[in-house]
Structures are given as structure tokens and as C-alpha cells.
Structure 1
Amino acid sequence: MTVAAVGIVVVSHSRPLAEAAVELARQMLPNSTLAIEVAAGTDDGGLGTDAVAVSTAITTADTGDGVVVLMDLGSAVMSAETALELLDDDVRARVVLSAAPLVEGLVGAAVVAAGGADRDRVAAEALRGLAPKQAHLS
């Protein structure tokens, strides 16, 4: 089994969307114990984001080597930024908020995280998420 130290958090307005993206990423990682947490949707099953849920997901995903946070759009970014303010300074220092595309970024980040990459490498791979599609379509 692969044990990755860098955790990943998926922040989305939609819990089903986030869970589907995580399921896709996990299919690339058979037998991996990679920490991927979801902070998505509202408590009543609606669309929305919650900074407290994001901060809890970050804390859960953090094993001490950092967390990369991927967000879908708009207020998910603001919720992730607010979540950072809720964290202890030492945890906050280990978190990277990524501008990567949610699905493609998650898959790339998960693969390199499962391989033991450090936080900066995981974040960089997430940002490269659209490169294969861009190269193919250009």
C-alpha cells in the first residue's frame, strides 16, 4: 500500500460533484491510502460552501507534511481563504490553495501525492492539470 504524507482537500459547491471527482482520482490509485477530504455542499444537501467545513477537512487531511486545497469556483475560493484564518499558524503554513482545475488538477495531484511527492510538487502538478488537454487540442 502507498502511504502519502501530503493531503488533498476538495472544496466544491456540490457534494456529488466533489465525491465523483475524488472517486475518479482514487481509481487511478488502487490500494492507496492517500488522504483526500471533501468539503462540499451545505448541511441540508444544497449547493454551497462552508469555511468551517473546509478548515475541518484541512485539519483532517494534514499529517504534518501539508495539504493542497483544490476549489471549484467563486465562493469556494473565498471559503477556502476564510478557512485558513480559522487554522492554527503552524497548520496554515503547510496549506497551499491551488488555482488548478478541479478534476484534472485533482487527478494529477493525487497521483504524485500517492507517489510521495512534497507539497510544492503536488501543487505544481495540480496546476499542470490542463496541459495535456491543451496540447492535444491546440
Structure 2
Amino acid sequence: MKILVVDDMPSMRQVMMHMLTSLGYNNPDEANCGIQALKMLRLNDYDLLITDLHMPNLNGEQLLSKVRGDKKLCNLPVLMVSSEDDKAKIMNLIACKVTGFMVKPFDLNTLKKQLSRIHGNIQTA
């Protein structure tokens, strides 16, 4: 499974990359903002996008909207990560067809469960 991790904080990207590697997902790619991620998504084939919600320039919600509006990317699973606890905001993300949502801080087990669920959905699609 080819994964792209997007977060404007290098430390959070490193934590996510380490978690993914420890779960057996080798060589995930990383982007430091939504704009860079969108360019990478259009140039490469990914099986999953994991993105932070709150980022400058192009935030996770805007990135999700662009992915869902792109013919090539519209079916790409998107796992959103955030410290956001505003139920209205989360409901809006669900309406925008986010595949999964994890609240920071999360642990390895939570990530593993989300990835298993998403991977199961990919195989049955």
C-alpha cells in the first residue's frame, strides 16, 4: 500500500512515518503542506492519503475537497488527523466524504485499526 502523509509539523510527520513503518507499511511518502501533497498526488499513484486538518495555505479540508473533485483522485481513501473536537466541523468532513478521522493524540493501535478498516474497504470496493 502506497501512502502519502501530509502535515506541516515535521515532528508529527516523523511520528506518523515511524508508526506506519512499524506496522509494515514501507516507504511512505511525505508532504509538508496541502499544496505539495496535491502536486504529489497528481504525479504518483497512492493507495491512501493521511493528512492533518489544520495547515496553512491549503488545509486538510480544502485538500479533501480538491481530491474528491479530481476525476483521477476522487476515490482515494483519505484519513484525516486532527486535534479538532468540534462536532460540526467533523460532521462537515464526513459530508465531504472523508474515509476516516483520528483525533490527536492517537496511539499505534488506533492507527492500526483505521488502516485495517480502510484496507478492508479498498479490497471490497
TM-score by length of 2: 0.52
Q: Give the count of matched residue pairs.
A: 95
Report the residue type matching 1:94 in the other structure.
N
Q: How far, CA to CA, are the matches of 1:72 and 1:19 in structure 2?
A: 13
More helix by proportion, 1 or 2?
Answer: 1
* Structure 1 unmatched ranges of 5 or more: 41-48, 123-138
Q: CA RMSD in A?
A: 3.4
Q: Amino acid of the residue matched to residue 50 of structure 1?
A: G
Matches within 5 A, 1:1-138: 4=1, 7-29=2-24, 33=26, 36-40=28-32, 49-51=33-35, 53-59=36-42, 62=45, 67-75=47-55, 76-81=59-64, 83-84=66-67, 89=71, 91-99=72-80, 100-101=101-102, 104=107, 106-108=111-113, 112=116, 117=119, 120-121=121-122
Unaligned runs of 5+ in 2: 81-100
**Secondary structure in 2 aligned to 1:18?**
helix
% of aligned pairs identical?
Answer: 8
Aligned pair in 2 of structure 1 residues 61, 108: CA closer, same or farther (>3 Å)? farther
Structure with higher RCO (Cα < 8 A, 6+ apart): 1
Structure with higher Rg: it is: 1
